Structure 1
Amino acid sequence: MKKPVLLSLLLAFTATLHAQVVTYETAKKKAKASFDQAIDAMRNYQATQALKYLEDALKTEPNFADAYGQMGLTYSELKDYPNAIKAFEKLKNLDPNGLGPVMLPYARALGGTGKFAEALAIVDQYAATHPSPLAKSLKANFEFAVQSATNVPFQPHNLGTNINSKDPEYFPSVTIDGKTLVFTRRVNGRNEDFYISQWDSVSHSWAPAKDMGAPINTEFNEGAQNISQDGSMLVYTGCDFPNGKGSCDLYFSTRNKDGGWSAPENLGAPVNGRGWDSQPCLSPDNNTLYFTRVTQDAGYDIFMSQRQADGSWGTPQRLDSNINTPHDETTPFIHADNQTLFFASNGHPGYGGMDIFYARRQADGSWGKPVNLGYPINTIDEDASLFVAADGKTAFFASDRYDSHGALDIYSFELYPEARPLQTLYVKGFVYDVKTNAHLQATLDLIDLQTGLVTASVKSDADGNYLVPLPVGKNYAFNVHKQGYLFYSGNFSLHDAKADTPSTRNIPLQPIETNAVTVLHNIFFANKAYTLEPGSLPELDRLVKLLQDNPSLQIEISGHTDDVGSDKDNLLLSENRAKAVVDYLQQKGIAASRLQARGYGETKPIADNSTEEGKALNRRTEVKITGVK
């Protein structure tokens, strides 16, 4: 029986096509030599040169299947996945059977361009006959990617030649005011040093980066640094230093009054152990240190250490299982809001090697379930070391993308809204003695009025200067206290704030003496009511502590109102409010003999009652020292 004409032509064409396929064994000597040179170049990590040799081989033998396969592998090594796909598909068209050994690299290349469904189909086909750990791992990655479905917005921008060079730049960190950028540069591919740049508000760009120099930069490698939000402290990693406790230790340096930096100090035990401690990051109040440590049971994990009252660091604690897994977690970054933690992991479901995740702090202080930042921020490759500025939307990271200046460069991009931390402003100023004007070292606590939790606790420096972060979207009590002084009570209502500028507030503290008075700005009552609202408790407890620490104090709690309503009603309301505070103090163990409650109604205004702002100031609770025995 005769074959149909069309089938006969197809079979003839297929036979001709296969006859044209060239393998290494059948290639011309010149093409084979070029192929061998490409393999040698790859062994010496010269991928770009290897591509030139492969192009030479293909000029000699256009249907050289092995050359296309090697070209696909080489482009994959360079993370040029679109060209890798072209090479693999050329191989597939020339010799479908020749694709077998490179099916997984082909799948990775497809995944590298976001073609996850196609990549998954190829992995499934390969795994059906060649099950392997790599195939299983890729299958899990691509299944996660297909299920995630939606890409997130991502438009990275290279920071330019003022920051980036032919050398690798990475680990960017920025102060809360957005004016100082510090990063690591591997100079001449060998020595890691720190560079610093200042934001130029005129040109709206970063000024040319400068070597931070001695005493921070040395002949040894310094890397993985983090500058504190207030710019006063630099923490970083030093490996194989002469005074090291382990292979890599954490060090710190503080900024001097003249703008220079102190000689680095090893954080010592218990933070630094005999192993590998690296990638530090400070909380915005400089009281919590997050870092990565190699463990015996779970590889790289994220730990935290709390600063103690004497300034030392406490025993590091491993973050809970919502963050750490039996696999690797690295590059922790706590945002200026002190509520959002970014980190890298290959233990949580993701797209590839290490992915970047974020987790929110819960009301009880624990961490919520991590969220993958999504594709294409995360890719099939290693993704880590993300920094997000205080505005909550400007993110910085390092990458060797197509428009880099030769190696890893620092990029920025606008983080999509769902992943943003709280925009964080700040208040700064100094603390001083109201009678002598002397600047004071004091403790400043920022308290979330909804949860009662202290979100930041900072100490003013030797000159009384301070900076406290203010995450937008919440209302805060602001307490400043020092032994021998009445505490200062302030309030920041940022729940609906649209402000984008910081505040300056110089804090007067009154020495504890008879007739000293302070306003309790965070004692709250409902309109025309005298039942204390829950937001009052942090301030009341601060007052309890003041009285406990100073057992000889006697005080008067006074209530005041605006002029709305009758004089009689306002007087009664103010008396009842003062009594409510005194009752709370007594419930906490303060003797009744030390307390007086007085209501003054509208008789002692401190502002004009003709405005709403003035009325709000007049509605207040005060504490006055009536005796110091």
Structure 2
Amino acid sequence: MKSGSAVRLFAVTAALLSTSMIHMIFAGDALSELKGPYLGQTPPGTTAKTFAPGIVSTQAWGDAGSFTPDMNRFYVSRWRSHEGNWETEIVAYERVGEGWHKVALPKGTRRAFHAPDGKTLHYGAKYKIRTADGWSEMKSLGPAFEKIQIMGLAASANGTLVLDERGTSKGDGILRYSRLVDGKYEDPKPFGKEINTGKWNAHPYIAPDESYIMWDGERESGFGSNDLYISFRRKDGSWSEAINLGDKVNTEAEEGGPHITPDGKYLIFNRMVPRADGGDERQSDLFWIDAGFLEALRPKE
């Protein structure tokens, strides 16, 4: 993945949206043929396949998306270059009974990263917490976070944060972490060289139990452009050397934005694919695969 492309595309993608902070209206689009979880899609096996083609992954737009923690809503961020103009839009699908409805979202909706329990919403260096009356006022993670141009952020069940930063044109973004101690977030600290190696590291995901982190990065040893990587937590608390997820997900194209569905079953990620209209630029589609293969990558201790 070229660094500039990573910043421009994935900075608007992998985040979840705050549904409780906005007024949502059914768009009159009852997707009656979509029944059951995962937007009614047949789950993938050990081969990655496009997620919800024609619904989430579309020909006209670059697409990315995530489920809310309860898995009853799926949010899609879209972008495209149209007649020389850069356009974005956000759509959502909500589960009603066994079916799904497309939901209209007002322009300017702010994106948020949900904590696994759905009780904290992260907006870059700021956050809100759920209260008895709704959501709190916006709070700051602290001055150290405010100095970082955060693109992607994820939280564990214990509140540990992993975050990236918008790097320079040289693609020197690194990953950091911050623990929640006595109700306060520590200043973010860079991961070691086992993770922050190569030209580009961004869009981290941390397992709810903190047993591993995943991210996308650009390294000479990769399959080409950006690849997906994983590092496992050792018994002593240190992190293993980065492991390429391999040819089950990585290709000569650029992959990015890895995360696991809230039920822990599937890996969802983005891949840059040829545009349907034959244009020179590529666009992002969403892919998914059974996440069972990840455990086989864990180094034996």
Count of paired positions: 243
2:9 paired residue number: none
Is 1:233 matched up with 2:120? yes
Relative contact order higher in (CA < 8 Å, ≥ 6 apart) = 2
Mapping of residues 63-462 of structure 1, within 5 Å: 153-164=46-57, 166-170=60-64, 172-186=65-79, 190=86, 192=88, 195-200=91-96, 202-203=98-99, 206-211=100-105, 213=106, 217=108, 225-237=112-124, 250-255=125-130, 264-273=138-147, 276-285=149-158, 287-293=159-165, 299-309=172-182, 311-347=183-219, 349-401=221-273, 407-415=283-291, 417-420=292-295
Deviation at 1:393, TM superposition (A): 3.0
Q: Is the 8 A contact 2:69 2:114 kept in 1?
A: no
Deviations 1:203-244 (A, max 9, x none): 4xx532442x48xx35xxx56x5222122233244xxxxxxx
SS at match of 1:345: strand
Deviation at 1:414, TM superposition (A): 2.2
Cα 1:333/1:253, change in 2 over 3 Å: same
Deviation at 1:263, TM superposition (A): 5.8
Deviation at 1:396, TM superposition (A): 1.6
* TM-score, normalising length: structure 2: 0.66
SS at match of 1:386: strand
Distance, in Å, in 1 between the alignment partners of 2:276 and 2:122 is: 27
1:56 paired residue number: none
Deviation at 1:366, TM superposition (A): 1.1
Q: Is the 8 A contact 2:198 2:220 kept in 1?
A: no
Deviation at 1:193, TM superposition (A): 5.9
Greater share of strand: 2
Deviation at 1:160, TM superposition (A): 4.3
Cα 1:379/1:305, change in 2 over 3 Å: same
**Unaligned ranges ≥5, structure 2:** 1-44, 297-301
Deviation at 1:348, TM superposition (A): 6.6
Aligned sequence identity (%): 20
Distance, in Å, in 1 between the alignment partners of 2:192 and 2:176 is: 9
**Unaligned ranges ≥5, structure 1:** 1-151, 238-249, 422-629
SS at match of 1:418: helix
* TM-score, normalising length: structure 1: 0.34
Given residue 155 of structure 1, which amino acid in structure 2 is its aligned partner? A
Cα 1:164/1:380, change in 2 over 3 Å: closer
Distance, in Å, in 2 between the alignment partners of 1:335 and 1:168 is: 26
Mapping of residues 42-53 of structure 1, within 5 Å: none
Given residue 94 of structure 2, which amino acid in structure 1 is its aligned partner? Q
Cα 1:228/1:263, change in 2 over 3 Å: same
Given residue 182 of structure 1, which amino acid in structure 2 is its aligned partner? Y
Cα 1:256/1:198, change in 2 over 3 Å: farther
Q: Is the 8 A contact 1:271 1:316 kept in 2?
A: yes
Cα 1:361/1:175, change in 2 over 3 Å: farther
Greater share of helix: 1
Cα 1:409/1:176, change in 2 over 3 Å: same
Cα 1:353/1:160, change in 2 over 3 Å: closer
* RMSD across aligned positions (CA): 3.6
Distance, in Å, in 1 between the alignment partners of 2:165 and 2:204 is: 11
Distance, in Å, in 1 between the alignment partners of 2:73 and 2:220 is: 33
Mapping of residues 502-513 of structure 1, within 5 Å: none
Deviations 1:158-188 (A, max 9, x none): 3245545544322x33344433333433487
Distance, in Å, in 1 between the alignment partners of 2:89 and 2:224 is: 30
